[in-house]
Amino acid sequence: MTDPVVGLVLEGRYRLEERLARGGMSTVYAATDLRLHRTVAVKVMAEHLAHDPTFVDRFTREARAAAMLSHPNVVSVSDQGADQGLVFLVMELVRGRTLRDLLQARGRLTVAEAFAVLEPVLAGLSAAHRAGIVHRDVKPENVLIGHDGTVKVADFGLARALTGTGQTSHTGGVLIGTVAYLSPEQLERGRADARSDVYAAGLVLFEMLTGHPPYGGDTPLAVAYQHVHHDVPLPSSEAPTVPWQVDELVKRTTRRDPAVRPLDAGSFLADLEDVRSDLGLARVPVPTGRSSAGPATIRPTNRPSRRHPSEPGDGSDPGTEVLGGRSSRAGRTSLLPPVGTGSTADVGGRRPVPPHRTGVSPHVRRRRARLAVAVVLLLAITIGAVGWWMGSGRWTEVPSLVGSDRAAAVDLLQEAGLDPVFAEDQFSETVPEGVVISADPEGGEAIRNSDVELVVSKGPERFTVPTDLVGQPIEAVRDALRGIPVVPTEQQDYNDEIPVGSVTGFEPEAGTEVKRGDPVTVYVSRGRAPVAIANVVGQPADAAQTNLEAQGFSVARTVGRSADVPTGAVMAVSPAAGTQAPYGSEVTVQVSEGVPQVTVPDVGGERAADAIATLEAAGLEVTTSTFITGDRVYRQSPGAGTVVDQGSEVSLLLSFG
């Protein structure tokens, strides 16, 4: 019957050409990207799941998880969308087959071949683990082997990003995965981390070496029971040629307690390389199943004679099983494999038990009766779990998270079966750092395994002005402050040490925490503060000059005469003493050359009293003498016009006139 989807063009770009594979949850088609003219793989979600938000979320999560990774051993995802009622994602097309196909054809691989396949698988998983992503569904169906021997890990549909506790959440009561490869912690607690992928990869190594998974049972629940309660057998118990070092590697990676497994795929890969080195194991090409007989021919080396449930006769992918919920096999709701077919193979690939050829003893009948009762009880529990999930069980109550710290909020959400998603942290003046400010949704009911977005406080928003800006030129400081959300203002400031035009300090001080928009005063140096001129009047000229220069002034000298200041002493300062003058400015001092000089007035012929008054007014001392008799000046000495020191004596000779 022709697939009705083939021929559709999704979003006007991807034309579906050929169906490549079909599983319980999705179908993969080869398609042509009409925009880039290349062949791609398009994975389309099964129609009956496209309206279920939980599965749509899983499908979208696969696109996001794979898009985060860029590694040669991970199938790249380039697009995701929904069109014409189809939810799809666009992936790299790998021409080749799955590891499941190879094992169905080959049975088991040699140790060298198993290592050749597992090494790139672990390299791809290691890249995912470094990015904080756990695959959660590692199995042979999700390991693609190209015709050229390239190995890629596919199907990150169950992947989850690591939360703050380092674990991933379960799917709210329904555990999705392939039960043959689920770790004990996934089965018991519904949680997984990188060590769960290590466990599954260890089982894949066991299967490559033996040709079948380690556990089998009549139901998936029986297989799950063995994962939880039994240790994985050694590969050499099935394949005696497997070295003991490989046995130990499988044992170490599949321990039931995750604490004693390798921490992640990178650690597993390092252990694998150590074993290869210890064994001196040569590297061989990745087996592709192709031979010289033609590209479609598969070489049947080591193929087992029995068929295991992981190798169905029709070659179909066993797909992902839902434990405690609906099976992902198309159209089935039962967890039991088909019965009444006469097949003696069991679900997990254990050795088949040959049927009795004679009558059944009462002891065997009693055992079978007890087994039937156990199966009925398991079915009843399963049906009850499915009913609970489809009813109220898929819903949960969103806890009150505002005011809780980050770790407590994660714990509360995981206990409620919800996944925390952290938005960008925000500053808050009222909510302490690390405490939840808001949640979306904030309360009420939500579907289990859905996301709750949390906004966590970064505490009060504060900024600091760098202390190394002090002493920098104001232009450089202006540039630096443009990157800090404060309001700067500039103020001139005298400073004896910082040059003019450079910053002397801030208010508040540099290094102090300030809020966004706070004012910050920037003090800019005007140079040295003005200096009060010292009073050096009366000091010797040289001493006065030394004192003024010590204040930072330059000194200029002039001369003058003073009756009060001794010769050689300062008689005046300009600007005047006590005046504020700029540092480095010039101060002039006037140095005394002695008393003032005067010109002797001409008083000849004047009456004695008038002459004496004139001379004394000129600052001269007067002595008189009389020739014969009279009161008029007959002669004066020094003579009129002579320049003499103030206070000099002038002699007058009086006579009659």
Cβ(495)–Cβ(504) below 8 Å = yes
Whether 231 is catalytic is: no
Angle at the Cα of 448 (from 374 to 140), degrees rounded to 5?
65
Cβ(533)–Cβ(587) below 8 Å = yes
Which residue spans within 135-225 are E strands per DSSP? 143-146, 151-153, 160-161, 175-177
SS (H, E, C) 211-260: CCCCCCCCCHHHHHHHHHHCCCCCHHHCCCCCCHHHHHHHHHHCCCCHHH
Residue 17: enclosing H or E segment and its boundaries?
A: strand 14-22
Q: Distance of CA 576 to CAs 75, 563, 571, 590, Å?
A: 92, 20, 11, 11
- The structure tokens listed for 93 are 């097309």
Residue 527: enclosing H or E segment and its boundaries?
A: strand 519-527
What 3-state class would DSSP assign to 475? helix
Q: What pairs with residue 35 in β-bridges?
A: none
How far is 579 from 565, CA to CA, in rounded Å?
22
Phi and psi based region of residue 238 (left: phi greater than 0; alpha: psi -120 to 50; beta: remaining): alpha
The terminus-to-terminus CA distance of the chain in angstroms comes to 168
- φ, ψ of residue 278 in degrees (nearest 5): -60, -40
CA 428 centroid distance within chain: 20
Indicate the angle between helix axes 244-253 and 194-210, nearest 10 degrees: 150
- φ, ψ of residue 455 in degrees (nearest 5): -110, 120
Q: What pairs with residue 108 in β-bridges?
A: none
How far is 594 from 536, CA to CA, in rounded Å?
18
How far is 99 from 107, CA to CA, in rounded Å?
11
- Pick the catalytic residue from 3, 83, 137, 193: 137
According to DSSP, residue 329 is labeled S
Q: Are strands 487-494 and 519-527 parallel, antiparallel or unpaired?
A: parallel
How far is 574 from 505, CA to CA, in rounded Å?
35
Can you list the alpha helix ranges (DSSP code H) found in 262-329? 265-279
- The structure tokens listed for 224 are 């799950």
- φ, ψ of residue 564 in degrees (nearest 5): -100, -20
How far is 588 from 610, CA to CA, in rounded Å?
42
- Positions marked active-site: 137
